[in-house]
Every structure is written in structure tokens, then in C-alpha cells.
Structure 1
Amino acid sequence: MHYISTRGGIAPIGFAQAVMMGLATDGGLLVPTAIPTVDAERLRMWAGLSFPELALEITTLFIGDDIPRADLKALIDRSYSTFTHPEVTPLVTAGTTRILELFHGPTAAFKDIALQWLGNVFEYLLEREGGQLNIVGATSGDTGSAAIYGVRGKARIQIFILHPKGRVSPIQERQMTTVLDANVHNIAVRGTFDDAQSIVKTLFNDLPFKSAYQLGAVNSINWARILAQTVYYFYAWGRLTGGEINQRISFSVPTGNFGDVFAGYIAKRMGLPIERLIIATNRNAILTRFIQTGVYAVEQQVHQTLSPAMDIQLASNFERYLYYLYNGDTAQVRARLDDLQRTGQLSVSDALHQQAQADFAAVAVNDAETLDQIRATEQASGYILCPHTAVGVRAAQDWPDAVCLATAHPAKFGEAVAEAIGREAPPPLALQGLLDQAARCSELDATAAAVKAHIEATLSGVASA
């Protein structure tokens, strides 16, 4: 299996090189040269596998010989041994609502499913090749802590995570800043998540800086993140249908950066019988507006909501979808992205808009509806939703049989939950006592120059230690 850029500017590379490259050197995102297809017989066989067994089968299709199968199995088994539920991603019901719980990892968020594995893959490749890696990432809440927990204390790796100051929940902030391992560096930028994400992309597009400091990515711009997240779509389908190939199911996916629902799109292209992929957004509804109108247009500001991990204007993985929407025509992708850069919006033809509407449904959910859904679900079933999951459940109202992805434990968003039902959700062990622990974080202006200088100074200190 080889990987190319959505912008067409690099020669095909293998999986290991793609993982370490993160963002393509031409500024694009890496995609496989072909998406493997899975036939009915294999789907039926996969339906009975455990989550780690299924992860091995799916990732092998995209990794090829870059990691020997025995080594890959060991990496997967080690990654998911850190989860507190034996099924890793159990499928449960809350009244009549089907919920896929993705929050049983070390940081109680769905990002653990990819980042526990990716951290171990990084470590494996660095040990094999004798390299060093300096991870730089931006987070709107959960990616940062999951990435940190995935690589904390690992040799050959330093990690720098940017989060928007005051725009993540207190628990999310403390999950990051209370990790005091010497290789972990938290940065609070005075701005929005989009500012932080823009800084990260600017640093990766500074090719001399990226090369000199061996930068690596953990955001969903890294293809390995998307790959790991395809697994739970197959797992949920198998648990729900028992391998009945004629049974199709829908998924409602809370999304801001488009990575989670894009993983479902890849699963569908592989052959998973998905009826509908529902994009669930909050007030920051650029993706919903695109599906409804065919125009991807940036608003003047990012709105702060009760579901902060989705407070995003520019969804990084949308570029990957454009690549497939234009059937791999990288010139068209570059042209549309140029439109977006120049005018703040891009549009597609009527035919492509109809294709997008065939690929996805999309629903925007406001804060009042989010609180109402948390309250209604708790009153009906006793089950407590996090605000992001509540967005997904509310968005699926017209698809009552859909599987709704629960992206985080509700205890991570105590204020929102308490506002909805009058009390906070009981915290899992992983979240207990965080607010009382010592923390470490640097605060910087939201500029690439400030962050670049901080990284240079920090790594200089590491080198001389």
C-alpha cells in the first residue's frame, strides 16, 4: 500500500513514511493510492472478531509489509490493553437509542482509540530506524490529552500540544497540563482552536523547520488516525447485525474536524453496509451548511458552545473528502482550496453537491437543543450523555435506528451536564482528582512565530540536558 497527497505534489510513499510525515510536504493530506475493498464473506468473518483482532485485519490492509504482522499484532494488543472495557468500544442502548461508547480509554475520549495505537507505532518505528520525533499538535479538547497519554515518557519523542486558552473544559485542560513527564510540553495560545490549528499547519509547511526539527503530527491530518477510527464502524456493524450482509445501519457522528465521520466514509467505501452517515455539528456548522448548500463558507468568528471540541470553522479532513469527491483530481482540489484561501469560501457543481448529499446527511444542533437532549435521555433511561454525544443523538432524530457515537465521558463536561440535569456525572477513575494535581503549561500569543521560538528554545534545552 502506498500513499499520495491530496494536492498531487509528492511521489508515492509507504505507510511508515506516511505516518512519520504526517502532513504531506506539498501542504496536502496523505491518502492511500487505492482503498481496499472487503467482500461479503470477509465481512461475515470479521463480525465475530474481538476489537483487537478486527483492528489487526483492517490495518494490515493499509500497512502491507511496512510492519510485520506479528509486530503489528503486538502493537495493537498493547494499545487496547489500556482500555477499561473488555470490548474496547461497546455497543449499548439508552432507552431506544443505540450508542457506541468510545470513551473507555485512558483519557475517557474517542481519540484514545487512535492515539494509544499511534503512540506505540511511533515508538516502534523510531526504535527500528533510530530516529527522533517532535510531535506538534493542536487540540479543541480531547486530542491533546489522548496524544499526550499516548506518548508520555516514550524515548525519542517530545510532544508539543497547543490548546485555545479558556476554550476547553477545566477537566480537559487539567488532563493535559497535569502530565509532568519531561517530554510533554503544553502551550495555551491566546486565541481559538482554528488559530492553533493554523499555527500547526504553518509550522509543517515551513519545510526547512519541519525537517530540521523532525516534526510529526498526531492530529487527524495523520492518516493513521483515520485508519484506526474505521475499525469501530466495522465492529459496531458486526455486533449489531451478527454478520447479516443485507442489513445496513446508519451512524450519527458528532464532528468538528471531519476526521471521525470521514473514517466512516472510508469504511463505507471499503464495503461496510452503511445506510447513512449523519454529520452532527453544533452552531459552528460549516460542514452542515456545505451538505445543505454545496458552499463551504467560513463565518467571521468561531462560536463558543457547550460542545467545545466541535468549535471549529475549518475542518482539516474536508480536504480529503474533496479529493474523493473530485475522483482524485488533485488540480481541482488545489483550485478549490485556492478559492477558499482567497475568498473564504469554495463551492462545488450541482452534480457534486448531489453526490455529497448522497454521501452524508447533516444536522446542526444548538446549545438549547443539546441541553434538552441530555435532559430527555437521562429522564427516559438514566443514561447521561456528554454534550458532544447529545449533539449526535439529537441530530439522529429522523433516523431512530442509527448508532450514535459517544465521543467522550460526560464527566469531562460537568458544567454542561449539571445545567441539563442538576448534577454532574460520576467521574471514572481516570478523571478523579485531576483538579487538585500540580500542572505545567506555557501561555503564548496565537502566532506561528511565538510557537516556533518556544519549540526551538525548548528543544535546545533538551539537547543540552
Structure 2
Amino acid sequence: MTTFHSTRSTTDSLTSKQAIRKGIADDGGLFVTDSLGETHVDIASLAGKSYQQIAFDVLSVLLPDYTEAELKECIDEAYGPQWSDEKITPVKPLGDDYVMELFNGPTSAFKDVALQILPRFMARTTPADGDADEKIMIVTATSGDTGKAALAGFADAAGTGITVFYPEGKVSQVQELQMTTQSGSNVNVCAVKGNFDDAQSAVKRIFGDKELAGRLADDSHVVLSSANSINVGRLVPQVVYYFSAYAQLLERQVINVGDEVEFVVPTGNFGDILAGYYAKLLGLPVKHLVVASDKNNVLFDFLTSGTYNRQRPFFQTISPSMDILISSNLERMLYYMSDKDTRLISMLMNDLSQWGAYEVPEPMMKKIRSIFGTGWADENQVREMIADCWNKNHYVIDPHTACGYYVMQQMPRDPLTPRVLLSTASPYKFPRVVNESLGLDASGTDFECMDVLAKATGTTAPAALRGLETANVRFDNVVEIDGMEGFVEQAAKAL
């Protein structure tokens, strides 16, 4: 039986359904399972399978207490006509390399892959104490993309509400409008005075607040859960697209079964790349996973020095979804790399919260570096790469993908190992920066910028993004960090 417990202790023993409903462990740790890697996915059978079939193969291994029927229902509902490409995450040639588009979902960002299915997973869980009236309030902090993808996934989902916090003035105009215009009777959106890390840390405190939990349960029959990648139900669907990429390379006869592939992943919170590590543990022949950071290069410094230090300047960049200094999902990777040493993880996380830094033992870092490579791009390099990618390949990338593209150009090429760059968002979410980088007119509104970009490149803005110009703004709330808990409580009362 696969059971889940915290990265910081082994006291819990939850099923995957219970772990998904709960979101985060009581001790602040993230849910992991010790059976990860015991069962492999059959890679020889991947070629020719649809995304939905691959998702079933992978999720059956990772979430074994969902029945075959439940998983198939979840997959069918999540990966249907709301995607603009039937391959869901298509792999396309990019010069001598490949790019996997993760942005063909309803909100034009990679988060859709997980957040279209998470509400379906949640709907098939049951209250821990048998309270038939119990409702779930999803509370999430976003650095830009998670918020809208979560709102779109949970809007009007039965038995749930959702509250999203984003850092005021630190997301793009399009990202902000995507959230503030969200329809749905169970959704709440609020800007926060501070950066993403401030908001994320406050959300974790809210989850750990026993008194608040008691009040919510008594007054409103509400329990809190998360749609951030701290929730294991957010993480595991992302494992699927690594297998899908491999299947597509097999179909193109770029590789044979068993050949290794490298993945370059723009990431701030480490969830997107951790999914690749999970895929490797499930038997996917992953040679390296390369972390691409922006100027907030805390992961680069960690992977090169062995010291994780969040006591550093925070930069607001043109790749806002990666402007993160506390990388939550790193904790799960450290758990597996430390041979499942909960005491060590607990100690490291305690150091991070008390001193703002921790140091990982060198033998463990050696193991980590054998799988994870790293690099980062500054603002000028990001702009140069958007232009370079267009000039060389006639392919438009967004600023986050450009971080990965830059790092990929810096890496030594092994002609026998294909490289896949994960493209995390549509360039139309950041039309101003993209236009500036391509030497196009960027003087108008974001929507005028979209039209200029479409005309110059022969591409089309996703209708949902272009339509934001005339969408009705529903939410204009702003709170201080210490006002977030009160906001959640009000939202719960209205559920």
C-alpha cells in the first residue's frame, strides 16, 4: 500500500486522496511517498499512445488509491477540448534541439496541466471525519501563473472555494487581468503588499494556524487546502509530460527505447523540474535535468555552492513567475537525495526558517549534481534570447522560456542526447517584453502589443488573453501581509 507522510517526519500515513485533500502536512513539511520508484512505467509501450493514455499509465502508479474509473474520468475532464492542441504538450523542433509547449491550456501557462486535473482529484476525496457538509477552501499564493490556472480549474467546482493572493504590482498586466476578471461564485482574488515569498510564507503560516482551522471548522465547516505545487496532487500530473515528450521523440525516431534525454527547465519553485526527477525515478531515461533561473538565481547558487541562502536581494524581473527566493519543492528532492532522512530535512528547514540559510552535506551535493545541472540569465540575456530564438528558428518564446533557451545555448552539446526545452508560458502573456526584445512597437497597451506581435510574427494571440481587454474586473482587493488570514476567514464564511 502506497502511503504518504511529511518530508520532516514519518508520523503521518495517508493515502494519496487524503494527502491531496490535506495539501500540506501538520509540521509544515510536504507529502512524499517512500514507494516512489518501486514500480516503473513501461517506456517500451509509450510510442503511439495519446497524452491521455500516458497520463493513465503514470498516474496509476503515483496515485494508486484512485480507481481506474476515477482516474479515467479525471483525465478525460482535464485534457479535453479546453486544450488548443490535441497532443496537450506538443514537442516541436527548435534548431538542433526540441521545445515542449506546456501552454496550450485555457490560461496559456504550464500550470494548466496540473490545475485542470487537481479539482477533479479533489472532488473524488472525502472528508477526514465524515462531516458531510465539509467544504474545501483552496488558498494559494501566486507569482503570476498558478493563480489564474487554479482559478480556472476550481471556478464553480462543487464543495470548494478558492482564494488567490498575488504580489501587488509584481505580475504582468495580462496576468493580473486574468485573475481579477475571473468568473465563478466561489472565487476570491486579492493583491498583497509584498513579494511572492512574503505571500507564500504567509499562506504556509495560515495552513499551520490551529486556532484558525478550529474556527473555520466550527463556523463554516471549511477545511483549507492548497493548489500550489506544495500539494502532491499539483505535482504528479506534471510528471506525465516528461513521458509524453519521450513518447513523441520515439515516434519521430529521434531516439530508441532506452536512449537518454536531457531536459532544460525554467523554474523558480522547483516543482516543474522535480516532476522530471519523479519521472526518472519511475524509469524514464533522463540524463540530466537543468535548472534555468532568472536574476533571482538562488537555485543556481545552491546547486553550485551547496548552500541555500534566501538572505539576498529580491529582484523584480521580466520573468515574474520565477521571482522566488524560497523554493518550496526543493524540500522533496532533498528528502529523496538524503535517502529519506526526515531528521536531516527537518533540521535544514529549521535552519532556513531561523537563519535564512542551510548547508547540504557534500556527499549529498555530489549526488544531486550528477542529475541536476544549472544556469541563469540576466535581463539583457533574456531579451537577447527572445530575439535570437526568433531570428534563428522563427519561433516566439516568452521571457521564462528564454531563460531556459539561454542556459541551453551555454551547455556543451552531446550530439547523441536530444535536449528538450520546456516552454512554460505563451509569449502573449508578456507581449510588451517580447515586442521590446524583437524590436517591435511596445508603446501601446498590452493588448495593442499583442496585435503588433501577431502581425509581425504571423502567430495568433490566444482568444482568452486577447479578450481580457473588454473583460469586467471583479476584484480590486489589496491587503497587507498580516491581513491575509482575515481575508481567508471572510471568504470561508461566504462559501
TM-score category, normalised to shorter length = over 0.9
Q: Is the CA contact 2:190–2:479 (under 8 Å) kept in the aligned structure 1?
A: no
**Does 2:183 match 1:180?**
yes
Residue of structure 1 in register with 2:354 after alignment: 342
Deviation at 1:21, TM superposition (A): 0.6
SS at 1:162's partner residue? strand
Alpha-carbon distance in structure 2 between the residues aligned to 1:39 and 1:157: 34
SS at 1:76's partner residue? helix
Residues 392-425 of structure 1: CA distance to partner in whole angstroms, max 9, x if unpaired? 1111121554100000000000111011013344
Residue of structure 2 in register with 1:360 after alignment: 372
SS at 2:278's partner residue? helix
SS at 1:304's partner residue? coil
Q: Is the CA contact 1:8–1:330 (under 8 Å) kept in the aligned structure 2?
A: yes
Residues 155-203 of structure 1: CA distance to partner in whole angstroms, max 9, x if unpaired? 2111000000110111111111101312110010011000110111000
User: 1:435-450, aligned counterparts within 5 Å?
Assistant: 435-447=469-481, 449-450=482-483
**Does 2:487 match 1:454?**
yes
Alpha-carbon distance in structure 2 between the residues aligned to 1:75 and 1:246: 30
| Root-mean-square deviation (Å) | 1.8
Percent of pairs with identical residues? 36
| 2:248 aligned to which of 239, 245, 248 | 239
User: 1:374-385, aligned counterparts within 5 Å?
Assistant: 374-385=386-397
User: 1:186-265, aligned counterparts within 5 Å?
Assistant: 186-210=189-213, 212=217, 213-242=222-251, 244-265=256-277
Residue of structure 1 in register with 2:63 after alignment: 63
Deviation at 1:37, TM superposition (A): 4.3
**Does 2:168 match 1:165?**
yes
SS at 1:215's partner residue? strand
**Does 2:102 match 1:102?**
yes
User: 1:7-46, aligned counterparts within 5 Å?
Assistant: 7-8=8-9, 10-37=11-38, 42-46=42-46
Q: Is the CA contact 1:7–1:330 (under 8 Å) kept in the aligned structure 2?
A: yes
**Does 2:432 match 1:431?**
no
| 1:141 aligned to which of 144, 153, 159 | 144
- Residues 417 and 127 of structure 1, relative CA distance in 2, 3 Å threshold: same
Residue of structure 2 in register with 1:413 after alignment: 430
Residue of structure 2 in register with 1:316 after alignment: 328
Q: Is the CA contact 2:192–2:199 (under 8 Å) kept in the aligned structure 1?
A: yes
SS at 2:198's partner residue? helix
- Residues 385 and 301 of structure 1, relative CA distance in 2, 3 Å threshold: same
Deviation at 1:98, TM superposition (A): 0.7
Q: Is the CA contact 2:287–2:371 (under 8 Å) kept in the aligned structure 1?
A: no
Alpha-carbon distance in structure 1 between the residues aligned to 2:19 and 2:189: 25
Runs of at least 5 residues in structure 2 that lack an aligned partner in the other structure: 441-449, 455-460
TM-score (normalizing by structure 1): 0.95
Which residue type is aligned with residue 135 of structure 1? I
Alpha-carbon distance in structure 2 between the residues aligned to 1:210 and 1:404: 41
Q: Is the CA contact 1:375–1:421 (under 8 Å) kept in the aligned structure 2?
A: yes
Which residue type is aligned with residue 171 of structure 2? V
| 1:351 aligned to which of 341, 350, 363 | 363
Alpha-carbon distance in structure 1 between the residues aligned to 2:313 and 2:119: 33
Deviation at 1:261, TM superposition (A): 0.3
Q: Is the CA contact 2:167–2:191 (under 8 Å) kept in the aligned structure 1?
A: yes
Q: Is the CA contact 1:44–1:244 (under 8 Å) kept in the aligned structure 2?
A: no
SS at 1:125's partner residue? coil
Q: Is the CA contact 1:18–1:30 (under 8 Å) kept in the aligned structure 2?
A: yes
Alpha-carbon distance in structure 1 between the residues aligned to 2:336 and 2:301: 19
Runs of at least 5 residues in structure 1 that lack an aligned partner in the other structure: none
Alpha-carbon distance in structure 1 between the residues aligned to 2:247 and 2:136: 37
Deviation at 1:143, TM superposition (A): 0.3
Alpha-carbon distance in structure 1 between the residues aligned to 2:358 and 2:28: 18
Alpha-carbon distance in structure 2 between the residues aligned to 1:94 and 1:373: 13
- Residues 262 and 399 of structure 1, relative CA distance in 2, 3 Å threshold: farther
SS at 2:124's partner residue? helix
Which residue type is aligned with residue 156 of structure 2? G
Which residue type is aligned with residue 340 of structure 1? L
User: 1:246-325, aligned counterparts within 5 Å?
Assistant: 246-325=258-337
Which residue type is aligned with residue 419 of structure 2? A
SS at 1:396's partner residue? helix
Residue of structure 1 in register with 2:49 after alignment: 49
Which residue type is aligned with residue 480 of structure 2? A
Alpha-carbon distance in structure 2 between the residues aligned to 1:43 and 1:366: 37
Instruction: Say how many residue pairs are matched.
Output: 459
